[in-house]
Chain A
Amino acid sequence: MKSDKLIVLATLVLAALYWFATEQINEPLIGDPIGPKAIPRLLIIGLVIAAALLWLETLASRKTRAAAMAADNPQPVRRPFFILALLGGTLAYFFLFSWLGYAIATALYLYALMAIFNPGETWANALTSIGFSFGSYLAFTRLFGAQIPAGLLPF
Chain B
Amino acid sequence: MTSRRILVTGLSTYWGGRVAQALERERDVEAIVGVDAHDPTVELERTEYVRVGHQHALLRRIVRAAEIDTVVDTRLVVDSTTTSTRLAHENNVIGTMNIVAACSGPESPVRKFVFKSSGHWYGCEQDDPAYFTEEMDRPHPPRTPIEKDIVEAERAVHAFADATPRASVTVLRFVNGLGPTLGTAHTRLFALPAVPAVFGFDPRYQFVHEDDIVGCLEFAVRRDLPGIYNCGGDGVLVLSEVVDLLGKQFAPVLPPWGTGIAAGLAGRVGVRIPPEMLRQLRFGRGLDNRRLKAAGYAYRYTTREAVQAHAEALRLRPLLRGGDEPYRYEREVEEFLRRSPTVRMRPEPRWEHAEGDLDAYDDLDAAALVDLLPSLPRADLEALGRHEATNARRPEVLAAIGRNLARTRPLSGRDQESS
Is chain B a partner of chain A in the same complex?
Answer: no
Chain B residues close to A by CB (< 8 Å): none
